[in-house]
Amino acid sequence: MINYTAPAADIKFVIEELFDFYSHYKKYPAFEEVTPDLVDMIITECAKFCESELTPLYQSGDKEGCQFDNGKVTTPKGFKEAYQQYIEGGWHGLSHPVEYGGQGLPQSVGLIRTEITATSNWSWAMYSGLTLGAMNTLLEHGSDEQKVTYLHKLTSGEWTGTMCLTEAQCGSDLGQVRTKAVPNDDGSYDVTGSKIFISAGEHDFTDNIIHIVLAKLPDAPKGTKGISLFIVPKMKVNADGSVGESNHVTCGSIEDKMGIKASSTAVINFDNAKGYLIGEANKGLEYMFTFMNTARVGTAMQGVCSAELAYQISLPYAKERLSMRSLSGTKCPDKVADPIIVHPDVRRMLLTQKAISEGGRAMIFYTGKIVDQLEQATDEEEKARLDDQLGFMTPILKAFLTELGLESANLGVQVFGGHGYIKEWGLEQVVRDARISTLYEGTTGIQGLDLLGRKILMQRGRSLKAFAKEILTFCKNHSMISDNVHKRRMNKFIWPLSKAVVNWQQYSLRLALRARKNRDVVGSASVDYLMYSGYITMAYMWAMMAQKANEKIAEKPDNIEFYKAKVRTAEFYFERILPRIKTLSTTMMANPKSLMRLDEDSFSFL
C-alpha cells in the first residue's frame, strides 16, 4: 500500500521563508488573523485526515472505480464517508467568504489544503475541487440572488458544482458549442444539449449538483462571441433553499478511462432543464475564464502532486532495493549488493523528481500570493496589473508543471524497474492518473498558444517584460552584495539565470517579428516556447530558494541539512535540468516549413 506523508517542512519553508506570507497577510485587514500557529494547525490537521483517511483509499478506489447504473453513479467504498468527514471538518469552505459560511482565509492558505488532499488521493479531491471553480465564478459574476441561493450550500459542501463546457463535436474550440438556452417569461431559460467529460458530473456525495453550463441563445452571434453562461442545478431549488423536483438533468454514462478511475467523468444531458443566466448574455467565454483560471491552477497543482507522490514512493524503494555494486567501490560490504540509490543514474531520477516537486510547489505558491493580492486589490490599475500577471503565469503553470509531473511519475516507474509496472507498488497508477493532467483544462498545445499568442504577442510582451524585470532585479541585488562568500555561492545561479532571462526576451521579440510574416510560427513554436518559459520560471524559484537556504546555513541552525539539501538540489537543477532550454531555443526558433511541407495525403500509411 502507498504511504504518503505531507511535506510540512517544505510547505512551511516556501510560505514562511521564501515568500514571507505572514508579512503579506498583515497588509490586508481581512487576513490579519492568519498566524503561523493557525497555518501550522491547518497543515497538521489536514495531513492527519489525508494520511489516515484518503491515502488508504487511493489504490482501492482505482481498483473498484465508479459504478454506473441507470443514470446513477456509485463512488468507491469509503469515498462518500470521507467526503462527509471533510465537510464536517470545515475544510471545504476554508478560503471562501464568511458571509456565505466560509472561513474567509486567503486563497494561498487554501492551496495548502489542496496540495495535501490532492497528493493523498487525486481522484477523491476532484469532487470538491471542481466546486471551488463554480463558487469562484458565482462570486465574481453571479447576481446577489444567485449568490444567496447557491453559495451557502456550495461553501458548506452540502452541494457540489461542476463546469460543463465540452461537447462531442468540440473540445477547446468552444465556438462550436450547440447547447441551446431558450428564454422563458419568468427570466429563466430552458437549456437543452449534451456535455461530455464532466468531472464529478454525477456522484452519490450530495443530493444536488450545480452545473455551470456554456450555451447559446437563439439570436446569439456566431462563434465564441455568442456564448453565454448559465447555472443549471441537477435538482430544482425551492424558494426556501431546499432541494425540489428533478430539473431534467441526467447522466447518460460515465467514461471508461485510463486513470482517475475513482472520479466519475460523466456525460450530462440537459432536456429543457431550467437554467439561470450568469451576468450578461454572450459574455460566457469571458466569465468562464474565472472558472478556467481556478481550474488551471488546480490542475497545475496535480503536476506537483504527481511529482511529490512519485518521489515519496520511489525514494524508500531506492534506499532498500539491492542491486549491483557501486562503480566507485562497494558501499555496503555486509550486504549482497549495494542499494540502488548509490548509482548515479538512480540519483539523477530521484533528484529530478525532488527538483520538480519542490520547484513546482514554489511556482504554485508564488502564484497563490498573486491571487491573494488580486482578491484584495481595490485600485483598478493595480487589479489590471495583477490580472495580467496571473494570466501570464497560468498557462505556464498548467502545462509545464503537468508535463513535468508526468515525467516524474514515469521516472518513478523507471526507478522500480519491472516492479514499477506492477499495480501493487502504485506507481503505474500515478502515471495513469497524471496523464490526464496534461489534457484537461486545455492541452499543452492550447496552453502554448494561449501563452505565446495571447499573453506575449497580443499584449506585446507586457507581462513578460514585468516578470523579466523582477527576475533581473533579483539577480542584480544578489550579484552586488558585499558578503563575498554569499556572492560566490550565488554566482552559479545568478549568471545563468540572468542570461536565460535576457535571451527569453530576445527570442520572444524575434518570434513576434517572424509571426507578422507567417502565423504558423506561433503554432510551431508555442509548446517549445512554453516549456522554455517554464524552465526559466522554475530556475527563478530555485535561485530564490538557494539564496534563502544559504542565508540560513550561515546561521548554523539545528536543521542545517534541510537547507544544504535545498542548495544541492538547486545546483542539480541548474546543471542538469535548466540546460534543456538550449535545445528548446533551437526547436522553437526553427522554421515551421518542415512541419507544413508534407502533403496531407502523404500522411497515409496505405
* 490 and 515 housed in the same domain: yes
- Which of the listed residues 236, 263, 282 is the one where a domain comes to its end? 282
Is 393 a domain residue? no
* 198 and 123 housed in the same domain: no
pLDDT by residue (tens digit) across 197-236? 999 999 999 999 999 999 999 999 988 889 999 999 999 9
CB atoms within 10 A of CB 279: 17
Which positions ≥6 away from 244 have C-beta within 8 Å? 235, 236, 237, 238
- Number of folded domains that form the chain: 3
Is 32 a domain residue? yes
The grid coordinates of residue 82 equal 470521507
Identify the CATH number of the domain in which residue 65 sits: 1.10.540.10
Rg, C-alpha atoms of the chain: 25
Residue 463 · residue 388 · CB < 8 Å: yes
Closest CA to 71 of 229, 271, 276, 274: 271
Is 212 a domain residue? yes
pLDDT by residue (tens digit) across 347-385? 999 999 999 999 999 999 999 999 999 989 999 999 999
- Which of the listed residues 235, 253, 282 is the one where a domain comes to its end? 282
Q: Check residue 460 and give left, alpha or beta (phi > 0: left; psi -120 to 50: alpha).
A: left
Residue 303 · residue 437 · CB < 8 Å: yes
Give the residue numbers annotated as catalytic, written as ranges.
441
* 83 and 200 housed in the same domain: no
pLDDT by residue (tens digit) across 26-84? 999 999 899 999 999 999 999 999 999 999 999 999 999 999 999 999 999 999 999 99
pLDDT by residue (tens digit) across 318-346? 999 999 999 999 999 999 999 999 999 99
* 131 and 251 housed in the same domain: no
* 507 and 539 housed in the same domain: yes
Is 308 a domain residue? no
Say what the pLDDT of residue 399 is: 96
- Rounded to 5 degrees, what are φ and ψ at 215? -155, 170
- Which of the listed residues 97, 127, 154 is the one where a domain comes to its end? 154
pLDDT by residue (tens digit) across 256-295? 999 999 999 999 999 999 999 999 999 998 887 766 666 6
* 179 and 131 housed in the same domain: no
User: Once rounded to an integer, what is the mean pLDDT over residues 494-499?
Assistant: 96
Is 408 a domain residue? no
Is 14 a domain residue? yes
* 34 and 164 housed in the same domain: no
* 165 and 125 housed in the same domain: no
Q: Is the pLDDT of residue 171 over 70?
A: no
Which run of H or of E encompasses 39? helix 36-49
* 125 and 197 housed in the same domain: no
Predicted TM-score (pTM) of this structure? 0.96
Is 300 a domain residue? no
Q: Which domain holds residue 60?
A: 8-154
Q: Is the pLDDT of residue 435 over 70?
A: yes
Is 240 a domain residue? yes
Give residue 39's identity as a one-letter amino acid code. Answer: V
* 116 and 183 housed in the same domain: no
Identify the CATH number of the domain in which residue 187 sits: 2.40.110.20
Say what the pLDDT of residue 228 is: 95
* 145 and 174 housed in the same domain: no
Average pLDDT, the chain: 94
Q: Is the pLDDT of residue 120 over 90?
A: yes
Q: d(Cα 127, Cα 121) in Å, to the nearest integer?
A: 11
Say what the pLDDT of residue 355 is: 98
Counting residues of the chain whose pLDDT is more than 90, the rounded percentage is 88
* 95 and 41 housed in the same domain: yes
Q: Can you say how many angstroms the Cα of residue 352 is from the centroid of all Cα atoms in its chain?
A: 19
